[in-house]
Amino acid sequence: MNRKIIRKIEEQITRELLLTSNDAGWNCIGYDYGDGFESNTDYESIVSMCLNVDDLYLIFQSPDKTKKAWARLVYGNDGFDLINDYTCTPGFEQLVMDKMTEYTENIEDKMFA
């Protein structure tokens, strides 16, 4: 697949993950790209950081602020497989990751329809 198309898919999935988690109340509170956790809640700066590294962990906090969850994003593969791994934290898995699994399974159909 064309590298530009893969990059567009990765950007869309990154944005959708942040929007889906935010809608579910699981706000992204920062990231770790190998140098330790960096606190950041600015949507555009998080997207920018994601698109400028090979892989990173996004860290999310539950609506009641009692639990944390993470998703590992690995850039540069086939696009739809961007989300490499995530925690099975109750609430996060059902409200965020189940929706993201469906989204990524159908993203190519949506893009090329």
pLDDT at 44 over 90: yes
Query: What six digits make up the tokens of 9?
Result: 């898919």
**What percentage of the chain exceeds 70 in pLDDT?**
96
Give 13-70 as a DSSP string: HHHHHHHHHHHTT-EEEEEESSS--EE---HHHHHHHHTTSSEEEEEEE-TTSS-EEE
pLDDT of residue 110: 67
Residues 58-74 have pLDDT tens digits of 999 999 999 999 999 99
Burial class (CB in 10 A: 0-12, 13-18, 19+), 59: buried
The predicted pLDDT at position 113 comes to 57
**Is 90 exceeded by the pLDDT of residue 20?**
yes
